[in-house]
């Protein structure tokens, strides 16, 4: 397992918030328990397997290929009862086990149908066997609503038949009594009730001696009494007796079914835990989709190469507000082991450091991380964290004492498989002494071959990064003109704290600022000024480079779009040509087949018909239709010479052309789907869908020489 220090390291890197987000994605209690006990692993093969499982499930979500893990009920209590002798499960509890078994069947069939696309998801169910007897045992006695079926036993069927008859007889008798008492005016407004499981009539108290039967109670006001009529007493007794017999038989059937099913308790237990495991993987995949996370390349060696990495919590927060997140590019390996990040306060130093730590924790917990898929992340045995105020009231430790306590632990236990994070190394003490101790601590950590990130304002640490092998600088960029942090990490150079620039913009007295410059050690101020000038020049060059890159990208996008439009237009024209050719050939073929079929029928009718003239007229009709088609084609050519399609929606006053006989007229009135067209002087009511708008072609006059 991955060792972390201190105990609150997860909270300092905010992994507890990732755990909460993951828990919200779970649908089952079994999956939520896995999230609660989620551990950080250091075995390469286990981490690779867990990440691949999440990646495979994520691909099903993105492709809308539903993985059928739909069982979400907690049946741990029922599984425990199933292992106890003499236990009786209710109908809905037995039905839950049938649903569980059928869900496993769906999962196994899905995996078989998608083999070998999801090897890690399939491997989880490799030893699972679907027992069809489980669903058969339950389906034999329980219906889809969780009730015991009438035919679960012959005895139950007879009891329910008798019970149904008795209830019908009781209902008829009782309704007759109600009608009788209603006519006599004895019934209260509520008319009837159930007391002690017996059906009673509600009678005004002054008439209670008139209605014969058993008095079961009265209303709170004592104005109404509830009487069981004597005509229904025996029937009620019979119904109660049959209901007791039914309940006894139901219990016997449920006990027998539970005992039969108890032999499959181990299989059902494995089914339940497999569904919980798949739900846990589903939650990881859903979180991966929400964070736009990927599976980076994995390395068994302790190293980090992050490309376009973002802090997951900052990513979600900025998504809601519409702000962009500046991606981070960081490499920590054997050559570049310790990154020294400097720059102004609130410029993103701590966020950059937390991003690396949180992503490493997520990876070793088997979670996908929001980085470019070309990133490469290794495996560490230890993660040490020193972020924020570590002052201890219980142990009477000052901030700096607590700081040194953590540094002692780092130096005692750090090695080549350690990843550490130190925020503001040396803070809380005299600047000169604190800087000296900080430099000594960094030298020792570098000597232990540990990898890590340190944020600092100390100039001696920035200078040290250029001298000690394995230590390199990084700076958080800052726009001095607007006095705004850019939240971008520039690797390879130290950053200025912008102390005097920020003081000037904060409208602090010029006299105070000048005096501070005089009091500042000359070399110290000169170095900070050089860092500031270098960084600002780098920012300006970076802005120009971004602008040129943007223009190049826009040009490439336009070029691709232009080529895509050309290809689409060519394809469309080719498709329309083929479509028109196929339509013509299809119409001719259908016409010939129809004509052939009709002539065969005419020959058949000729042989049998006594009226030969009628058969001749039928043949003429077929030939005339062919002639009509030829006439329509000639009319179409004639119309094409004078008119062209305009392609606009028909409006009153437009010229329109019939799609079959190609007559042209003026549209004078539109009545919904119908319209009036004037051809010559004659108006015709037509179906608007059969006409298209046209316009007259303009004649091109030849110029006279």
Whether residue 572 is contained in a domain is answered as: yes
Kindly report the pTM of this predicted structure: 0.69
Residues 687 and 626 in one domain: no
Whether residue 6 is contained in a domain is answered as: no
Whether residue 94 is contained in a domain is answered as: yes
pLDDT at 285: 97
Residues 475 and 603 in one domain: no
For residue 559, the enclosing domain spans 551-634
By the 8 A CB rule, do 336 and 302 touch? Answer: no
Residue 53's closest CA among 218, 329, 288?
288
Can you tell me the mean pLDDT for 537-551? 68
Can you tell me the mean pLDDT for 124-147? 96
Residue 203's closest CA among 231, 220, 182, 173?
182
Write the pLDDT tens digit of every residue in 576-610.
Answer: 666 656 665 566 667 667 767 776 777 776 667 66
Whether residue 533 is contained in a domain is answered as: no
Burial of residue 468 (CB within 10 Å: 0-12, 13-18, 19+) is: middle
Q: Is the pLDDT of residue 575 over 80?
A: no
Asked if residue 116 has a cis previous peptide bond (ω within 30° of 0), the answer is yes
Q: Is the pLDDT of residue 636 over 50?
A: yes
| Most confident region among 195-204, 350-359, 451-460 by mean pLDDT | 350-359
More confident residue, 30 or 586: 30
Q: Is the pLDDT of residue 616 over 70?
A: no
More confident residue, 669 or 481: 669
- CATH number of the domain within which 285 lies: 1.10.1420
pLDDT at 66: 94
Neighbouring C-beta atoms of residue 317, cutoff 10 Å = 12
Q: How far apart are CA 528 and CA 241, in angstroms?
A: 98
Whether residue 411 is contained in a domain is answered as: yes
Residues 57 and 80 in one domain: yes
Can you tell me the mean pLDDT for 377-399? 71
Domain boundary residue, one of 249, 276, 306: 249
pLDDT at 615: 63
Residue 465, CB-side half-sphere exposure with 13 Å CA sphere: 25
pLDDT at 392: 43
Evaluated on CA atoms 202, 205, 208, 210, the torsion sign reads negative
Helix H or strand E segment including 602: helix 522-608
| Most confident region among 238-247, 502-511, 694-703 by mean pLDDT | 238-247
Q: Is the pLDDT of residue 395 over 70?
A: no
Can you tell me the mean pLDDT for 153-165? 95
Q: Is the pLDDT of residue 210 over 90?
A: no
Residues 141 and 160 in one domain: no
Give the orientation angle of helix 431-447 with respect to helix 399-413, to 10 degrees. 20
Residues 188 and 281 in one domain: no
More confident residue, 219 or 333: 333
As a dihedral over the C-alpha atoms of residue 617, residue 623, residue 625, residue 629, rounded to 10 degrees, the angle is -160
Residues 612 and 570 in one domain: yes
Q: Is the pLDDT of residue 64 over 90?
A: no
pLDDT at 270: 97
Write the pLDDT tens digit of every residue in 496-538.
Answer: 555 555 566 666 777 776 666 665 654 444 545 555 555 555 5
Whether residue 674 is contained in a domain is answered as: yes
Query: What single string gives the DSSP state of each residue in 359-391?
Result: HHHHHHTT--BSS-TT-EE---SEEEEE-S---
Whether residue 313 is contained in a domain is answered as: yes
Q: Is the pLDDT of residue 396 over 50?
A: no
Position 630 confidence tier, pLDDT thresholds 50, 70, 90: low
Q: How far apart are CA 414 and CA 312, in angstroms?
A: 27
Can you tell me the mean pLDDT for 172-187? 84
Whether residue 57 is contained in a domain is answered as: yes
Q: Is the pLDDT of residue 643 over 80?
A: yes
pLDDT at 564: 79
Residues 396 and 490 in one domain: yes
pLDDT at 523: 45
pLDDT at 88: 95
Tell me phi and psi for residue 198, to 5 degrees. Answer: -110, 140
Position 394 confidence tier, pLDDT thresholds 50, 70, 90: very low
pLDDT at 531: 52
pLDDT at 506: 62
Share of the chain above pLDDT 70, in %: 80
Report the chain's mean pLDDT, rounded to a whole number. 84
Residues 130 and 215 in one domain: no
By the 8 A CB rule, do 657 and 690 touch? Answer: no
More confident residue, 526 or 463: 463
Can you tell me the mean pLDDT for 133-143? 96
Q: Provide CB contacts within 8 A for 594, sequence distance 6+.
A: none
Number of domains in the chain: 5
Residues 383 and 454 in one domain: yes
Residues 503 and 420 in one domain: yes
pLDDT at 672: 83
Write the pLDDT tens digit of every residue in 254-269.
Answer: 999 999 999 999 999 9
Of 101-115, 183-197, 317-331, 548-562, the one with minimum mean pLDDT is 183-197
Residues 160 and 215 in one domain: yes
Q: Is the pLDDT of residue 426 over 90?
A: no
Q: Is the pLDDT of residue 543 over 90?
A: no
Position 560 confidence tier, pLDDT thresholds 50, 70, 90: confident
Q: How far apart are CA 64 and CA 547, in angstroms?
A: 38
Position 429 confidence tier, pLDDT thresholds 50, 70, 90: low
- CATH number of the domain within which 684 lies: 2.30.30
Residues 327 and 475 in one domain: yes
Domain boundary residue, one of 249, 278, 311: 249
Cα–Cα distances (Å) from 46 to 40, 298, 368, 373, 378, in that order, read 11, 12, 14, 20, 13
What 3-state class would DSSP assign to 62? helix
């Amino acid at each position: 397992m991955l060792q972390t220090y201190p105990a609150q390291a997860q909270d300092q890197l905010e992994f507890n918030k990732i755990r909460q987000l993951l828990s919200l994605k779970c649908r089952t209690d079994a999956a939520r328990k896995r999230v609660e006990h989620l551990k950080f692993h250091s075995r390469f093969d286990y981490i690779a397997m867990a990440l691949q499982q999440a990646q495979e499930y994520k691909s099903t979500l993105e492709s809308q290929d539903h993985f059928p893990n739909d069982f979400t009920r907690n049946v741990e209590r029922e599984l425990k009862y199933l292992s106890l002798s003499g236990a009786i499960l209710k109908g809905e509890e037995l039905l839950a086990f049938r649903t569980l078994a059928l869900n496993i069947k769906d999962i196994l069939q899905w995996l078989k149908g998608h083999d070998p696309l999801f090897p890690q998801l399939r491997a989880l169910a490799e030893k699972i066997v679907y027992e069809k007897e489980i669903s058969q045992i339950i389906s034999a006695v329980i219906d889809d609503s969780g009730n015991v079926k009438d035919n679960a036993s012959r005895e139950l069927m007879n009891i329910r038949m008798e019970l149904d008859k008795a209830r019908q007889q009781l209902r008829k008798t009782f309704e007759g009594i109600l009608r009788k008492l209603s006519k006599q005016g004895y019934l209260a407004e509520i008319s009837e009730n159930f007391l002690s499981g017996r059906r009673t009539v509600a009678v005004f108290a002054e008439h209670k001696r008139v209605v014969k039967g058993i008095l079961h109670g009265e209303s709170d006001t004592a104005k109404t009494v509830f009487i069981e009529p004597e005509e229904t007493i025996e029937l009620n007794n019979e119904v109660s007796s049959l209901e007791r017999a039914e309940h006894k038989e139901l219990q016997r059937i449920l006990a027998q079914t539970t005992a039969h099913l108890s032999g499959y308790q181990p299989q059902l237990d494995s089914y339940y835990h497999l569904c919980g495991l798949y739900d846990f993987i589903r939650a990881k995949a859903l979180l991966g989709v929400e964070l736009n996370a990927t599976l980076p390349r994995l390395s068994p060696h302790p190293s980090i190469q992050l490309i376009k990495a973002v802090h997951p919590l900052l990513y979600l927060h900025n998504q809601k507000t519409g702000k962009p997140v500046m991606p981070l590019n960081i490499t920590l390996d054997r050559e570049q082991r310790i990154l020294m990040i400097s720059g102004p306060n609130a410029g993103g130093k701590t966020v950059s450091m937390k991003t690396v730590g949180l992503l490493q924790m997520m990876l070793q917990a088997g979670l996908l991380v929001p980085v470019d898929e070309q990133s490469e992340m290794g495996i560490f045995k230890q993660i040490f964290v020193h972020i924020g105020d570590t002052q201890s009231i219980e142990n009477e430790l000052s901030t700096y004492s607590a700081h040194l306590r953590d540094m002692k632990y780092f130096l005692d236990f750090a090695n080549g498989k350690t990843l550490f994070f130190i925020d503001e190394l040396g803070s809380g003490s005299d600047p000169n002494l604190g800087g000296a101790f900080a430099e000594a601590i960094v030298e020792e950590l570098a000597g232990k071959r540990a990898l890590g990130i340190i944020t600092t304002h100390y100039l001696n640490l920035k200078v040290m990064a250029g001298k000690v092998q394995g230590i390199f600088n990084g700076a958080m960029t800052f726009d001095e003109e607007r006095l705004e942090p850019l939240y971008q990490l520039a690797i390879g150079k130290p950053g200025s704290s912008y102390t005097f620039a920020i003081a000037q913009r904060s409208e602090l007295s010029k006299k105070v600022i000048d005096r501070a410059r005089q009091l500042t050690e000359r070399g110290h101020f000169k170095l900070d000024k050089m860092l500031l000038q270098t960084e600002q020049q780098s920012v300006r060059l970076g802005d120009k480079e971004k602008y040129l890159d943007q223009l190049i990208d826009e040009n490439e996008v336009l070029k691709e779009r232009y080529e895509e439009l050309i290809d689409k237009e060519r394809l469309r024209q080719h498709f329309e040509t083929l479509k028109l050719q196929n339509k013509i050939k299809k119409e001719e073929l259908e016409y010939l087949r129809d004509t052939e079929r009709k002539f065969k029928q005419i020959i058949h009718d000729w042989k049998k018909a006594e009226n030969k003239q009628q058969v001749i007229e039928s043949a003429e009709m077929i030939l005339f239709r062919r002639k009509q088609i030829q006439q329509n084609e000639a009319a179409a050519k004639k119309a094409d010479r004078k008119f062209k399609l305009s392609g606009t929606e028909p409006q009153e006053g437009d010229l329109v052309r019939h799609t079959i006989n190609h007559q042209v007229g003026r549209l004078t009135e539109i009545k919904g789907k119908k319209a009036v067209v004037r051809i010559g002087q004659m108006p015709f009511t037509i179906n608007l869908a059969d006409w298209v708008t046209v316009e007259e072609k303009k004649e091109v006059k030849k110029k006279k020489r």
